């Protein structure tokens, strides 16, 4: 069992707190993701405090040994953090792997969670897409190109938009910064992660908005929407952004914040 409490001190954390704010946003980044380029959330969703951290091997957080790197341990870190901060009135916003973990946190904090915003969330259906999932840690020029096209719709339209220095940087990050994460993509780890995400989605009892990009090549939209439909959970709604891939919140940020703020206004803001 990972000693999460002792690990918290070695994680890079961020918080924006105004004592007058009623709600607390928790942002959960994705696999090889970051909260750095998502800090705009604290400015675009008002009346909310904002909390984020970088999981092990992300940002400036320490890495872990292979045996401690798992989605379950990542979830345990979030559980410990929320308990340590004594947070309630939670709005969970999770992207990709962070979306799957956010769903799982509903099994622990249903009484504290007010709403979930899940962006291209990891879910059991992605097991059938492992070829593209493995591009998250590219080793070659072509794999890095495939990854970038999976993340950004504009790169699918015209591959020439992808600058060579971006491809080189993507490969270098995979081999150096994120190399320690490769065990998490093993078949056994992926199987365990999907069980965890599935349990989370089936535990959701609070208003939940899932936002997908129509052209997502990492978490395919058709399979994700079918998975949600089969859950038959009236608490989960989803919308699909045209002209977007795995990062719909960045590729169409105006629409994203309009939809999110409207959803929160209708479901929790009193």
Largest CA distance in the chain: 51
Instruction: Tell me if 145 is assigned to some domain.
Output: no
pLDDT tier at 8, thresholds 50, 70, 90: confident
45 in any annotated domain: yes
In a domain, 50, yes or no: yes
pLDDT-based confidence at residue 2 (cuts at 50, 70, 90): low
Of the pLDDT bands very low, low, confident and very high (cuts 50, 70, 90), residue 269 is low
- Mean pLDDT in residue range 12-29: 96
Name the phi and psi angles at 47, rounded to 5: 60, 30
* 155 in a structural domain: no
Closest C-alpha among 258, 237, 254 to residue 118 = 237
Residue 161: its pLDDT value, please?
Answer: 85
E strands in 23-151: 23-28, 48-53, 90-95, 113-119
Dist. CA 207–CA 139, nearest whole Å: 40
Please report whether residue 12 resides in a domain: yes
Residue 164 is assigned to a structural domain of this protein = no
What's the gap between Cα 63 and its chain centre? 19
Please give the pLDDT value at position 118: 99
- Nearest CA to 77 out of 135, 4, 19 is that of 4
Q: What is the per-residue pLDDT across 207-230, written as a single tens digit (0 to 9) for each?
A: 999 999 999 999 999 999 999 999
Domain containing 24 equals 4-127+187-267
What digits encode the pLDDT tens for the residues 128-142? 999 999 999 999 999
Residue 159 lies in a domain: no
Give the number of domains in the chain: 1
Distance CA 73, CA 70 (A): 5
Instruction: Tell me, yes or no, whether 222 lies in a domain.
Output: yes
Q: What's the CATH code of the domain at 64?
A: 3.40.50.1820
Q: Which residue has the higher pLDDT, 146 or 175?
A: 146
């Amino acid at each position: 069992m990972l000693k999460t409490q002792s690990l918290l001190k070695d994680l890079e954390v961020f918080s924006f707190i105004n004592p007058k704010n009623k709600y607390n946003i928790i942002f959960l980044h994705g696999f090889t993701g970051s909260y750095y380029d998502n800090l705009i959330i604290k400015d675009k969703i008002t009346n909310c405090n904002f909390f984020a951290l970088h999981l092990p091997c992300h940002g400036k957080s320490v890495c872990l040994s292979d045996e401690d790197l798992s989605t379950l341990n990542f979830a345990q870190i979030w559980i410990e953090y929320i308990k340590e901060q004594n947070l309630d009135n939670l709005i969970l916003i999770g992207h990709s792997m962070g979306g799957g973990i956010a769903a799982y946190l509903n099994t622990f904090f249903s009484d504290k969670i007010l709403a979930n915003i899940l962006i291209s969330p990891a879910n059991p259906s992605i097991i059938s897409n492992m070829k593209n999932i493995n591009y998250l840690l590219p080793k070659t020029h072509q794999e890095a190109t495939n990854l970038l096209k999976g993340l950004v719709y504009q790169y699918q339209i015209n591959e020439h938009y992808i600058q060579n220095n971006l491809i080189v940087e993507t490969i270098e990050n995979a081999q150096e910064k994120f190399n320690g994460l490769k065990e998490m993509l093993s078949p056994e780890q992926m199987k365990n992660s999907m069980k965890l995400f599935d349990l989370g989605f089936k535990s959701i009892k609070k208003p939940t908005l899932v936002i997908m990009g129509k052209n997502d090549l990492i978490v395919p939209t058709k399979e994700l929407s079918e998975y949600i439909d089969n859950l038959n959970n009236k608490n989960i709604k989803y919308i699909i952004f045209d002209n977007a891939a795995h990062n719909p919140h960045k590729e169409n940020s105006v629409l994203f914040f309009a939809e999110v703020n409207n959803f929160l206004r209708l479901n929790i803001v009193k």
